[in-house]
A = this chain, B = another copy of it.
Amino acid sequence: MNKANLQPLKGFRDFYPDQMRFRNFLFGKMRQVSQLFGYEEYEGPTLEPIDIYTAKTDEELVKNQTFTLKDKNDNLLAMRPELTPTLARMVAAKQNELNFPLRWFSIGPRWRYEQPQKGRFREFWQWDLDLIGENSLKADAEVINIAAELLKSLGLTSSQVVIKINNRRLLETELEKVGLKKEQITLVYKIIDKKEKMKADEWEKYLKENIDQESAEKIKAILRKKDFGDFSELSKLFALLKKTEVADYVEFDPTIVRGLDYYTGTVFEARDVDGEFRTIIGGGRYDNLVSLFGGQKIFSVGFAAGDAVLEEVLRKFNLLPNLKENKKILVTVFDESLAEKSAELSQQLRKARLANEIYFTPEKLDKQIKYADKKGIRYVVILGPDEVKKNEVTIKDLSTGRQSTIALDKINKFFRL
């Protein structure tokens, strides 16, 4: 095997313990916020038949950006680029047994075969949260509230990030007034969704290649609007959001449309205020997706957030937590004759639910302490001949350099404090 093989595939990541600590921290926050609002965790398969995505996911995503493979019967399968179609399938499969509304969330891997760049990988983890079976705008407000609470819990303020909200029905009404037909409207959604991702003049060209000059100007005017007028779905939604703890995180933005085909009403995106990154959290209402799998119409609203963009946003605002500190204990080994005593102590600590690792080879204490220091282990426990004779133990706190010798049977209590 050659040296090139030492790196993960392009767009894939190795998570060494340092990186994994951040990932677990982030997923922990997602879980915590979800559960506070009463959401339950679920998970689906990572492989699905490709046709569950062709139904309503973005065409470009399915055709060009999906990792696909064939099973032994020549059926085309996809490594899931997103979770929502799986969720819709799962809900449709048990719609007569489930107790609606469902408040569900999931955290797992997704794959998209696109060009890797900062905050964008081919393999990434996504937090999906959905409220299924509730038509009221209270549901839309709740999921947006949760999205904002996650940002807040990570230390992001409303002067750093904002959740931009729009409604596809409002946009549709306005595009109908321009005189666009159904198919044109779907196309214009795609074009609008690309606006933030392209340079201004490129986007302008793209728009005019697809839409006549007069309509294009009218569309641009719609996208410049500062308020939603008397559109009641949005006025009700903002009234509900105003009563939450995250009222300052939300604003109306007529350019938000979302790329996926299945959205039907409210759509929203969390972005950094400088617009440096792609969407941090994106979601909306998709009332017709579950019924595509057979059965009744089931009102649904939800969002997804990727791990990599969130990490970059936290880095930008200097909010990455310091996760170096490790509460672990190193039990040193004085010499071969005392190795068993150290092993017993390590076992005693574990029985008291105190995480610790034991040093295997009796080497100079300095070397063992240096090892602990490099690993970010705070406490080093020493059991030398003096300590053993007096039934004591010496504990060195590497964060302060302080050292104290205590009775062996007080050690659990020492670490409990």
Q: Which positions in A face B, CB cutoff 8 Å?
A: 1-3, 5-9, 12-17, 20-21, 23-24, 35-49, 51-52, 55, 67-69, 71-72, 77, 79, 86, 89-90, 92-94, 99, 101, 103-104, 109, 111, 113, 123, 134, 136, 138-139, 142, 243-245, 292-294, 328, 330, 340, 343-344, 347, 350-351, 353-358, 360-361, 371, 374-375
Q: Which of B6, B72, B93, B340 contacts A14 (CB 8 A)?
A: B93
Are B47 and A9 in touch, CB under 8 angstroms? yes
Docked CA distance A294–B90 (Å)? 45
CB-nearest residue of chain B to A15? B43
Q: Which of B67, B90, B344, B353 contacts A69 (CB 8 A)?
A: B67
Contacts A46-B123, A49-B9, A93-B14 known; A36 to B353 CB distance under 8 Å?
yes
Are A138 and B360 in touch, CB under 8 angstroms? yes
Are B72 and A43 in touch, CB under 8 angstroms? no
Are A293 and B92 in touch, CB under 8 angstroms? no
Residues of B within 8 A of A14 (CB): 42, 44-45, 86, 90, 93
How many copies the complex holds: the figure is 2
Closest CB in chain B relative to A159 CB, distance in Å: 22
Docked CA distance A198–B15 (Å)? 39
Looking at A8, A51, A77, A328, the one whose CB has the most chain B CB atoms below 10 A away is A8
Docked CA distance A30–B104 (Å)? 24
CB-nearest residue of chain B to A70? B69
Docked CA distance A6–B326 (Å)? 45
Q: Which of B123, B136, B354 contacts A45 (CB 8 A)?
A: B123
Nearest 10 A/B pairs, CB to CB: A38-B357, A12-B45, A69-B69, A17-B40, A6-B93, A15-B43, A8-B45, A99-B374, A20-B41, A36-B350
Are A355 and B45 in touch, CB under 8 angstroms? no
Are B77 and A3 in touch, CB under 8 angstroms? no
Closest CB in chain B relative to A366 CB, distance in Å: 15
CB-nearest residue of chain B to A351? B245
Are A35 and B355 in touch, CB under 8 angstroms? yes
Docked CA distance A292–B109 (Å)? 29
Residues of B within 8 A of A20 (CB): 40-43
Residues of B within 8 A of A340 (CB): 243
Contacts A20-B42, A293-B6 known; A134 to B360 CB distance under 8 Å?
yes
Are A41 and B68 in touch, CB under 8 angstroms? no
Docked CA distance A2–B244 (Å)? 42
Docked CA distance A306–B188 (Å)? 48
CB-nearest residue of chain B to A370? B99
Are B360 and A139 in touch, CB under 8 angstroms? yes
Residues of B within 8 A of A16 (CB): 42, 90, 94
Are A1 and B40 in touch, CB under 8 angstroms? no
Docked CA distance A136–B343 (Å)? 14
Residues of B within 8 A of A111 (CB): 47
CB-nearest residue of chain B to A93? B6
CB-nearest residue of chain B to A73? B10
Residues of B within 8 A of A99 (CB): 371, 374-375
Q: Which of B6, B7, B51 contacts A294 (CB 8 A)?
A: B6
Are B7 and A93 in touch, CB under 8 angstroms? yes
Are B67 and A47 in touch, CB under 8 angstroms? yes
Looking at A5, A344, A350, A355, the one whose CB has the most chain B CB atoms below 10 A away is A5
Closest CB in chain B relative to A360 CB, distance in Å: 5
Residues of B within 8 A of A71 (CB): 9
Residues of B within 8 A of A39 (CB): 357
Contacts A99-B371, A360-B134 known; A52 to B5 CB distance under 8 Å?
yes
CB-nearest residue of chain B to A136? B360
Docked CA distance A397–B404 (Å)? 49
Are A37 and B357 in touch, CB under 8 angstroms? yes
Residues of B within 8 A of A77 (CB): 9
**7 more A-B contacts (CB under 8 A) besides A5-B49, A5-B51?**
A6-B89, A16-B94, A38-B358, A72-B113, A136-B360, A138-B360, A244-B347
